[in-house]
Amino acid sequence: MKVIPEIAAAKTELQALRRWFHAHPELGFEETQTSDLIAKTLEDCGIEVHRGLGSTGVVGVLRAGDGRRSIGLRSDMDALPIQELNRFAHRSLYEGKMHACGHDGHMAMLLGAARHLARSRDFDGTIVFIFSPAEELGIGAKAMVDEGIFKRFPVDAVFGLHNWPGMPVNCFGFRPGPILAASAGFNIRIIGVGAHAAFPHNGKDPVLTGAQIVTALQGIITRSKKPNDTAVLSVTQFHGGDASNIIPESVRLAGTVRAFSEATLDLIVSRMATIVRNIAAAHECQAELEITRSPATINTPEETRFAAEVMKSMVGEANVDVDVEPMMGGEDFAYMLQARPGAFALLGAGNGEHREQGHGPGPCDVHNPSYDFNDEILGLGSTYWVRLSQSWLSGRIVTDRRHEG
């Protein structure tokens, strides 16, 4: 493993930065303290800072030499509405909010790279550091793209990186083409007629209607799409009623659909609309269906190949999986990859052995209240950003074989 010596020497500082972010989690489009610290850190390095894209997003621009090539490096910023179970010193200070996906580590890694590049200026071209809000809402990157981030700060390609529990430390993984799924979040409101539970014939029961909709929706996956077209539909919420002896007037269902193909997602959403409408009508209820779509995260082949060569130069070919299995998770970085070529990669974070005394009883998985980012990979992540930037801007793989961290 090759970590740049100056970055390795800053391990304690990077860890302190990451743990500050962890202790001060902020939800999507609320990342005010977070963006303040990011902006100050960049400014202290002499990096040109722009704020306000996508509401709370931060962009840093660093130029050196007279090269015309450019690269975008992106980190997400927001936390999740989860009550943390960890009790160690850097646990969340805010009830019901937690960095349970590693965005705290992503920010620290990119800031570590930015600081090193600003000090060394050992590159030729322009680097755009992108700190994107509201990834967990699926719309922060879209907001930045819609507001013209790549018109204001043009880049030849844009790259993303995500820690991945379960993958061994010091390993990378990704693939050309779809790596994360397209998604459709849905909300269904069933409106009936309330009644006393002892006299159900006086009402129109939205609970019964909703229950049949839940069952019927699963038939889309098993009977409407081709078996080879991978997809999942999960109803994750069913809300309705306030008393055990009253049939409520309405209920609300919510959940998500994931697929790698937009055509498959189109089919599922269309069938959902038909099923919801017709089952509600059969029970003399009304139905409202709202869908929020996000695209698949699709890596472009040339940029994926280039990033893989940078990774191999750092950790060796055996530690770079260039054909990881596509996953049903979603990423709003997909919107940036629709606007520019690039690649989204995974960085192995281990199985949780790194967690300090006082961690929660659950696994160290993302979106779990017992999760904590592995600080041992901060240096490797920062080094990847530096080597990727230097290599991309020079058009060749840049390594430093004199040192091993």
Render pLDDT for 140-167 as a digit per residue (tens, 0 to 9).
999 999 999 999 999 999 999 999 999 9
Asked if residue 31 is part of any domain, the answer here is: yes
Asked whether residue 44 falls in the same domain as residue 138, the answer is: yes
The single residue listed with the structure tokens 């606007």 is 339
With beta carbons less than 8 A apart as the criterion, state whether 10 and 18 touch. no
How many whole angstroms from its chain centre is CA 26? 15
The single residue listed with the structure tokens 């390993």 is 171
Asked whether residue 163 falls in the same domain as residue 200, the answer is: no
Asked if residue 22 is part of any domain, the answer here is: yes
Asked whether residue 90 falls in the same domain as residue 211, the answer is: no
Task: Please tell me whether residue 67 adopts helix, strand or coil conformation.
Answer: coil
Q: Tell me the pLDDT tens digit for each residue of 275-304.
A: 999 999 999 999 999 999 999 999 999 999
Pick the closest to residue 322 from 173, 165, 163 (CA basis).
173
Give the pLDDT confidence score for residue 1 in this predicted structure. Answer: 63
Q: Which of 294, 323, 348 is the last residue of a domain?
A: 294
Asked if residue 101 is part of any domain, the answer here is: yes
With beta carbons less than 8 A apart as the criterion, state whether 230 and 259 touch. yes
Q: Tell me the pLDDT tens digit for each residue of 230-243.
A: 999 999 999 999 99
Asked whether residue 164 falls in the same domain as residue 225, the answer is: no
Give the pLDDT confidence score for residue 84 in this predicted structure. Answer: 98
Asked if residue 276 is part of any domain, the answer here is: yes
Read off the tokens for 262: 């937009």
Percent of the chain with pLDDT over 70: 98
Give the pLDDT confidence score for residue 403 in this predicted structure. Answer: 41
Pick the closest to residue 116 from 170, 37, 45 (CA basis).
45
Q: To which H or E segment does residue 335 belong?
A: helix 333-339
Confidence of residue 398 (pLDDT cuts 50, 70, 90): confident
- For residue 302, give Cα distances in angstroms to 130, 186, 196, 307, 327: 21, 35, 64, 9, 21
Q: Domain containing 241 — which CATH number?
A: 3.30.70.360
Asked whether residue 341 falls in the same domain as residue 212, the answer is: no
Q: To which H or E segment does residue 186 belong?
A: strand 182-191
With beta carbons less than 8 A apart as the criterion, state whether 50 and 130 touch. no
With beta carbons less than 8 A apart as the criterion, state whether 76 and 35 touch. no
Asked if residue 403 is part of any domain, the answer here is: no
Give the pLDDT confidence score for residue 404 in this predicted structure. Answer: 40
Asked if residue 399 is part of any domain, the answer here is: no
CA–CA gap between residue 86 and residue 78 (Å, rounded)? 19
Give the pLDDT confidence score for residue 400 in this predicted structure. Answer: 64
**Burial class of residue 354 (count of CB atoms within 10 Å of its CB; 0-12, 13-18, 19+):** middle
Asked whether residue 365 falls in the same domain as residue 249, the answer is: no
- For residue 340, give Cα distances in angstroms to 59, 300, 305, 331: 16, 9, 16, 15
Tally helices (H) and strands (E) across the chain. 11, 16
With beta carbons less than 8 A apart as the criterion, state whether 379 and 11 touch. yes
Give the pLDDT confidence score for residue 256 in this predicted structure. Answer: 96
Asked whether residue 322 falls in the same domain as residue 256, the answer is: no
CA–CA gap between residue 356 and residue 88 (Å, rounded)? 7
Asked whether residue 89 falls in the same domain as residue 169, the answer is: yes
Asked whether residue 107 falls in the same domain as residue 186, the answer is: no
With beta carbons less than 8 A apart as the criterion, state whether 22 and 103 touch. no
Q: Which amino acid is at 321?
A: D
Q: Tell me the pLDDT tens digit for each residue of 236-273.
A: 999 999 999 999 999 999 999 999 999 999 999 999 99
Q: Which of 247, 278, 294 is the last residue of a domain?
A: 294
**Burial class of residue 224 (count of CB atoms within 10 Å of its CB; 0-12, 13-18, 19+):** middle
For 147-157, letters b (16+ CB in 10 Å) and e give eebbeebebbb
Confidence of residue 29 (pLDDT cuts 50, 70, 90): very high
Q: Domain containing 113 — which CATH number?
A: 3.40.630.10
Asked if residue 402 is part of any domain, the answer here is: no
Q: To which H or E segment does residue 213 belong?
A: helix 206-219
Asked whether residue 270 falls in the same domain as residue 201, the answer is: yes
Side-chain half-sphere CA neighbours of 28 within 13 A: 15
Task: Please tell me whether residue 31 adopts helix, strand or coil conformation.
Answer: coil
pTM above 0.85, yes or no: yes
The single residue listed with the structure tokens 């609309």 is 273
Read off the tokens for 87: 């009790």
Asked if residue 287 is part of any domain, the answer here is: yes
Pick the closest to residue 371 from 76, 28, 90, 26 (CA basis).
90
Q: To which H or E segment does residue 297 belong?
A: strand 297-299
Asked whether residue 335 falls in the same domain as residue 373, the answer is: yes
Q: Tell me the pLDDT tens digit for each residue of 356-370.
A: 999 999 999 999 999
How many whole angstroms from its chain centre is CA 155? 21
The number of distinct structural domains making up the chain is: 2
Asked whether residue 216 falls in the same domain as residue 91, the answer is: no
* Domain enclosing residue 381, as ranges: 5-180+296-394
**CA end-to-end distance (rounded Å), the chain:** 7
Confidence of residue 401 (pLDDT cuts 50, 70, 90): very low
Q: Which of 257, 272, 294 is the last residue of a domain?
A: 294
CA–CA gap between residue 124 and residue 379 (Å, rounded)? 23
